[in-house]
């Protein structure tokens, strides 16, 4: 794995290289995605069926589009009972964590009759997209569905692409049942996003769409934003490890590769102040690659977006971490909790040598739907608030308004909005 001396020039070069992976740079696919979306808007089920036959090679119709209870029961039979137990425990950990995020509506009343507040209401319908085939990740399904359930969303709809035989990954079906999905449709790709956004004869329109997918799914979510809400435009997976000389190089190498195996656009970066650690991590990476199943993907990922950055000081290393704003950040320093206090930008932070990134992916409870491509500077992990609307509440008595009406009128008139001022003034036109 390449070792690079960290300077302002190398930092800027790496940042520019990482940003190339953003879905915003894949504009060559936008016309195809927009064509699919418009097809679904105009022909509804007919377009969904045609695109499913074209892309997934399965003949979909109104009778087989929905997954049956019998298929869910069959999925339990296919899955190892030990894995089912793990999915159930993971779901419970995720639920417990997200329950702590719940907030209540609030109201602040004053003696003069002023009442201000915030009314919290869950959205009515949420649509969750789950990839299929080799990219089927039941863990992501749990992370999308459970916060919506905790928030109180009344109806949760899942779409996922079918195999050529119409089948759905058994793990996906079991996880959906455990998480509490209401209805599952065997539809994938941009056509699924369009169906959720606009509705068809079979698939109801939802209020928000969440969940990862390929570039066509990401661009489709971007295109329908505004008609519905979305979680984010997710980019390729990424991990950054911040370490000093006390860290275990073998653990670091293993953790870097846990993300590099996702796809050739994944990013894995170590930033450290120790040249000795950098050399040892590079050696451990080379050794692991010889034994891992997705070695060709890992090699391409590391060649494209893998770095070991050697910093002159811990402050330089921390500044780089904050500039990259990685999806996953592991801190392996002598005092990781102290180091963490200086981190401003990261999707999720893993502290200490036993908090490896896959712990967050599968089991700990915090959400693994995280901001990517530097968006941790302004985005947060998927959470309960993503499924809740906040409505402002305002009530004034005559007494309360009389104290401030002239100030409001002055403000409105200063903006040239005389009707605004008149709306307030009218209530006091007969006052002495």
- In the numeric block, which tokens belong to residue 114? 């002023």
DSSP 227: T
The CA distances from residue 127 to 34, 251, 284, 340, 409, in Å, are 20, 37, 42, 35, 44
C-alpha to C-alpha distance for 316 and 313, rounded to whole angstroms:
5
The CA distances from residue 188 to 46, 173, 199, 211, 377, in Å, are 15, 15, 14, 12, 31
C-alpha to C-alpha distance for 209 and 224, rounded to whole angstroms:
9
C-alpha to C-alpha distance for 1 and 284, rounded to whole angstroms:
9
274 Cβ contact partners less than 8 Å away, ≥ 6 residues apart:
243, 244, 245, 247
38 Cβ contact partners less than 8 Å away, ≥ 6 residues apart:
none
Minimal CA–CA distance to 216: which of 178, 187, 188, 181?
188
267: three-class secondary structure by DSSP:
strand
Catalytically active residues are 327-328
Rounded to 10 degrees, the C-alpha dihedral 64/67/72/77 comes to 40
Phi-psi region of 429 (alpha: psi -120 to 50; beta: other; left: phi over 0): alpha
- Provide the greatest CA pair distance for the chain: 89
C-alpha to C-alpha distance for 394 and 392, rounded to whole angstroms:
7
Strand order in the sheet with 155-159: 183-185, 155-159, 125-129, 208-210, 229-230
Burial 246-266 (b: 16+ CB within 10 A, else e): ebebebbbbbbbbbbbbbbbb
279 Cβ contact partners less than 8 Å away, ≥ 6 residues apart:
3
The CA distances from residue 91 to 34, 66, 212, 370, in Å, are 36, 24, 18, 18
């Amino acid at each position: 794995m390449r070792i690079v001396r960290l300077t302002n020039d190398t930092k800027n070069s790496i940042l520019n290289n990482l940003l190339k992976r953003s879905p915003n740079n894949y504009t060559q696919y936008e016309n195809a995605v927009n064509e699919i979306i418009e097809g679904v808007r105009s022909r509804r089920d007919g377009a969904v069926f045609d695109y499913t036959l074209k892309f997934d090679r399965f003949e979909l119709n109104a009778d087989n589009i929905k997954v049956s209870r019998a298929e869910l029961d069959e999925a339990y039979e296919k899955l190892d009972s030990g894995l089912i137990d793990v999915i159930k425990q993971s779901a419970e950990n995720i639920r417990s964590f997200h329950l702590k995020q719940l907030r209540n509506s609030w109201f602040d009343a004053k003696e003069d009759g002023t009442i201000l507040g915030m009314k919290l209401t869950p959205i009515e319908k949420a649509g969750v997209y789950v990839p299929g085939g080799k990219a089927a990740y039941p863990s992501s399904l749990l992370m999308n569905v459970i916060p919506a359930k905790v928030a109180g969303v009344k109806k949760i709809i899942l779409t996922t692409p079918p195999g050529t035989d119409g089948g759905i990954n058994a793990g996906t079906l079991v996880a959906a049942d455990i998480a509490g999905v209401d209805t599952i449709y065997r539809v994938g790709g941009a056509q699924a996003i369009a169906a959720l956004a606009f509705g068809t004869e079979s698939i109801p329109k939802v209020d928000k769409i969440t969940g990862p997918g390929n570039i066509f799914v990401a661009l489709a979510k971007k295109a329908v934003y505004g008609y519905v809400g979305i979680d984010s435009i997710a980019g390729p997976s990424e991990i950054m490890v911040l370490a000093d000389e006390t860290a275990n190089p073998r653990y670091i190498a293993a953790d870097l590769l846990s993300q590099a195996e996702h796809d050739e656009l994944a990013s894995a970066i170590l930033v450290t102040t120790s040249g000795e650690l950098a050399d040892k991590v590079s050696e451990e990476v080379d050794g692991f690659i010889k034994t891992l199943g997705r070695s060709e993907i890992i090699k391409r990922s590391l060649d494209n977006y893998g770095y070991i950055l050697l910093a002159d000081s811990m402050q330089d290393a921390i500044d780089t971490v904050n500039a990259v704003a990685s999806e996953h950040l592991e801190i392996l320093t002598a005092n990781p909790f102290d180091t963490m206090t200086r981190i401003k930008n990261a999707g999720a932070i893993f502290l200490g040598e036993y908090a490896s990134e896959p712990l967050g992916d599968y089991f700990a409870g915090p959400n693994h739907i995280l901001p990517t491509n530097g968006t941790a500077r302004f985005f947060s992990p998927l959470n309960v608030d993503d499924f809740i609307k906040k409505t402002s509440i305002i009530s004034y008595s005559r007494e309360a308004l009389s104290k401030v009406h002239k100030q409001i009128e002055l403000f409105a008139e200063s903006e040239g909005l005389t009707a605004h001022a008149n709306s307030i003034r009218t209530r006091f036109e007969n006052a002495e």
